[in-house]
Every structure is written in C-alpha cells, then in structure tokens.
Amino acid sequence: MSTRSRLLSALVLVPMLVVLAACGMPAEGPEDAMPSGDAGQVPQPSGTAEAGDGSECEYVADDNAAKEGIDLPPMSKVVTKGSATFTLAMDSGDVKITMDRARTPCTVNSFESLVSQKFYDGTSCHRLADSGIFVLQCGDPTGTGTGGPGYTFADETFPEDTYPRGTVAMANSGPDTNGSQFFLVWDDSPLPPDYTVFGKMDEKSINIVAGIAAEGQDGSGSDGSGKPNNPAKIEKVTKG
C-alpha cells in the first residue's frame, strides 16, 4: 500500500492506513492534551487556505484522478455562511452529515462539487480501523486507498480540533494534501488536530456506521486495520 495512505492510530506508533488521494496521519504518538482557543476570539485555521474569509479557495490539479472528467471545484464566490447537509445512501442505511460552511468553506465547497459530479456514487468505504481509533474511511472510487479527485487543497484545521464520536474529517497524506477521502468516526478517537473536521453525523447515522464496524474487518492492513467485512457501499450521495 502507498506510503501516502496512512492514518496514524494515536495509540500506536505504526502508521495506520488512512488516506486521502492517498492520505495519512503523521507517525507520532498521541498528544496528552489538545490546546483550546482563547475565549472570545474567533479561531483561525492552521492550514494555508483562507478559511476565515472563504470567498476564494485554491484547488491544485494533480495526476491522481480516480475518475475521469472530474472538474475542479469553483474557486471564487465560495459560500462562507450557514451549514449544508448531505446524505450518504449506504447499503446499510442512510448516513446524514451536517457540514459547517463558515468554519471549513473550502472543504465543504469541494465535497459539494464532488457530490454534484456523482464522484462518490457507487463507491465503497475501503478501510476500517477498530482498535485505538474507530474510523471508517471512504471516498476513493478505486477502493485501494490511493485514489483521489485529481486535485488537492489546503487544510482547514484548528489547534483545538478533536475527534469525538460522530465526527467527519478529511484524510490526508500530510499538510495541505486533502482531496476526496474522508473518515467517519463512530467512537471517540484520540488523534492529533491534523485532519480537517468538516462535518457531524446525527445519532442514527453514527449507529449505522457502528453497525458496519461491528461486522469487523479483514486485517489486511499492516497496522491492524483492513477492508470492512460489510460491503460499506455508498450507493449515492445527495444534498439534504
């Protein structure tokens, strides 16, 4: 598996395969505490994207397109207010995700663009980590953990980011390497604040993901993660 495809378990030092267009978490142990922002101040993202403004986003084309004919998301007049809701119609049930446009406008803009182009339709979540961290990773049409949308974009992370039950976050292979892959957290997971948190699942959706996880995985990953035993197929994604 590609060295770009790793998501580090915060409880072990072996890189765990969590990918974006091949993504991962840095090989380091868990942080004992994550700093919180100053009271009364609006937190600013640590990535290079101007997430506080959000009116313009930069998406950089690469040669890692898992599907042909995918256009770059719009880079100007990006919506920076309100929220957006998307539903993943999975074979195990609907997973509803509410996303914060004000906090992560460039990430939500990218996801919305990919949904409009049916990028995620007919794909399967390719990786399940069920020890140390509890995530189901999706968003690679190739199902290998190495595919992306044909572009990357900057992080919209904050020092106080954590990954409690219900979190939806971007997978990556290092700073500012976001693409199409994301992970669904069905139980609290101790990860460093290096992954853009852009959505939240409702309780029913969390239980659906937890049900998929309960069926286990095949252990094919070198870190103890693997392909879910449940097909974990996303039939289609719709807005609302």
| Secondary structure class of 77 (helix, strand, coil) | coil
User: Which architecture characterizes domain 59-239 according to CATH?
Assistant: Beta Barrel (2.40)
Res. 223 pLDDT band, cuts 50 70 90:
confident
Give tens-digit pLDDT for 33-78.
222 222 223 334 444 444 445 579 999 999 989 999 999 999 999 9
Model-wide pTM > 0.95: no
Return mean pLDDT, the chain: 82
Whole-angstrom distance, CA of residue 16 vs CA of residue 186: 17
Q: Does 28 have pLDDT greater than 80? A: no
Whole-angstrom distance, CA of residue 216 vs CA of residue 126: 13
Query: Contact at 8 Å (CB) between 86 and 239?
Result: yes
Which class for 3: exposed (0-12), middle (13-18), buried (19 or more C-beta within 10 A)?
exposed
Q: Locate 163 and state its tokens.
A: 């990954």
Give tens-digit pLDDT for 114-147.
999 999 999 999 999 999 999 999 999 999 999 9
pLDDT of residue 53: 54
Q: Does 25 have pLDDT greater than 80? A: no
Q: Which residues have C-beta within 8 Å of that of residue 191, sequence separation ≥ 6?
A: 8, 10, 25, 30, 133, 162, 163
Whole-angstrom distance, CA of residue 169 vs CA of residue 224: 21
